[in-house]
Amino acid sequence: MKVSIIGATGYGGLELLRFLHNHKEVVEIGLFTSSEEGTVFSDKFPHLTNIYNQPLLKIDYDVLAKSDVVFASTPSGVSSTLFPPLVNLGPKLIDLSGDFRLKNLESYESWYKKKPAPKEVVEKSVYGLTEWNEAAIKKSELIANPGCYPTAVLLSILPLIKHQLIDPSFLVIDAKSGISGAGNKPSNTTHYSEANESFSIYKINEHQHIPEIEQAISMFTDTETTITFNTHLVPMTRGILATSYAQVTEGVTQQQLVDCLTSTYEKHPFVRVIQEASSIGTNRVKGSNYCDIYVKLDERTNRATIIGVIDNLVKGAAGQAIQNMNVQFGLPQQTGLQLVPYFI
């Protein structure tokens, strides 16, 4: 397979390369850029010395069109114009940004404050939450790879909503992310001395992943709901842990909650249902494509605490993108993705 990456210089792009380097079906990787043509990639990223010494290439549709798959790992508002000309030209397209995720274009415009992608292209796109949309992904030409937060949230709560074990009408989701989620562009928020040793909240009630989560709940469980969703910044590089809270349906037991998760994912290699709360932590999935999930019924309140944990750059971005590529090409989902979590 010939792979092209647009936006290789971002963290999502670097993670694609980290995994694709050991993907046995990938024989060639082209790195494309809109602004740094000719730069030797390992000069810019010395950790890749002797691994990716090749120069960055100018974006050229003739060249891209000969790829088997093109990943876009670009900021919001870029692939909405870059990708449409490539549709139907041959390569499978996988977009890691939010540009093709929201089917409602007004919603996109209102949450992202950007012009949406063309309607017909958005309609063609398939939401790449692998474990919940495999059949559609298999046939897709253009995948809208899920956001990092939605991945952690949806994998943990969708089974319980679908089987009506929790009440979706008052769903509070409190999510926390490592700082790499903010990307590689320096800012005050990501300045070491000010981000280090501080925990903060951001985009209160305004995160663009809110409509994505609501849309996916609707899509996969036929449930319309308005969620409360907030995001916090954790002084660490990688990892997302999302804690969700909901009233549990009268009479439902802890065992039923766990069984629901277990049976949903028993055939899915990258979702692990965790039994002990003390076994949950972002370091348990760090560097890997796993999503660890956990549920606990609080009998005092009859409410459930539901946890989803991922590495935001892997299952929340590059890893899931490759997982989707594997599905598109009929490969085992795990191909190239079997790296063991770092832990320390």
Angle at 213 between CA 208 and CA 217, to 5 degrees: 160
Contacts to a copy of itself from residues 124-153, by CB under 8 A: none
Binds a copy of itself by CB under 8 A, chosen from 239, 308, 316, 319:
239
Q: Name residue 18's beta-bridge partners.
A: none
Stretch that binds a copy of itself, among 79-87, 132-140, 278-286, 325-333 (CB under 8 A): 278-286
Residues ≥6 apart with Cβ < 8 Å to 175: 149, 152, 153, 229, 230, 231, 232, 240, 241, 242, 243
Rounded to the nearest whole angstrom, what is the least distance from the CB of residue 160 to a copy of itself in the complex? 16
Q: Give me the count of residues in the chain.
A: 344
Contacts to a copy of itself from residues 173-232, by CB under 8 A: 174, 176, 178-180, 182, 184-188, 190-205, 226-228, 230, 232
Tell me the C-alpha distance between 253 and 257, whole Å: 6
Binds a copy of itself by CB under 8 A, chosen from 35, 47, 222, 267:
47
Rounded to the nearest whole angstrom, what is the least distance from the CB of residue 300 to a copy of itself in the complex? 6
Rounded to the nearest whole angstrom, what is the least distance from the CB of residue 50 to a copy of itself in the complex? 6
Rounded to the nearest whole angstrom, what is the least distance from the CB of residue 92 to a copy of itself in the complex? 23
Contacts to a copy of itself from residues 291-310, by CB under 8 A: 292, 296, 298, 300-301, 303, 305, 307
Rounded to the nearest whole angstrom, what is the least distance from the CB of residue 308 to a copy of itself in the complex? 11
Tokens of residue 83, six digits: 């990708």
Stretch that binds a copy of itself, among 71-79, 113-121, 216-224, 282-290 (CB under 8 A): 282-290
User: Is the CB of 86 or the CB of 217 nearer to a copy of itself?
Assistant: 217
User: Is the CB of 124 or the CB of 296 nearer to a copy of itself?
Assistant: 296
Residue count, binding to a copy of itself (CB under 8 A):
88
State yes or no: is 260 an active-site residue: no
Residue 61 makes contact with a copy of itself by CB under 8 A: no
Residue 267 makes contact with a copy of itself by CB under 8 A: no
DSSP H/E element including 138: helix 130-139
Residue 272 makes contact with a copy of itself by CB under 8 A: yes
Nearest of 76, 59, 75 to residue 67 by alpha carbon:
59
The CA-to-CA distance between both ends of the chain, in Å, stands at: 33
Residues ≥6 apart with Cβ < 8 Å to 9: 33, 36, 44, 45, 56, 184
Residue 92 makes contact with a copy of itself by CB under 8 A: no
Answer whether 150's CB lies under 8 Å from 216's CB: yes
Q: CB-based burial of residue 134 (10 Å sphere; 0-12 exposed, 13-18 middle, 19+ buried)? A: middle
Binds a copy of itself by CB under 8 A, chosen from 34, 37, 51, 113:
51
Tell me the C-alpha distance between 30 and 71, whole Å: 10
Give the max Cα distance, the chain: 64
Residue 241 makes contact with a copy of itself by CB under 8 A: yes
Rounded to the nearest whole angstrom, what is the least distance from the CB of residue 306 to a copy of itself in the complex? 11
Q: Active-site residue numbers?
A: 148
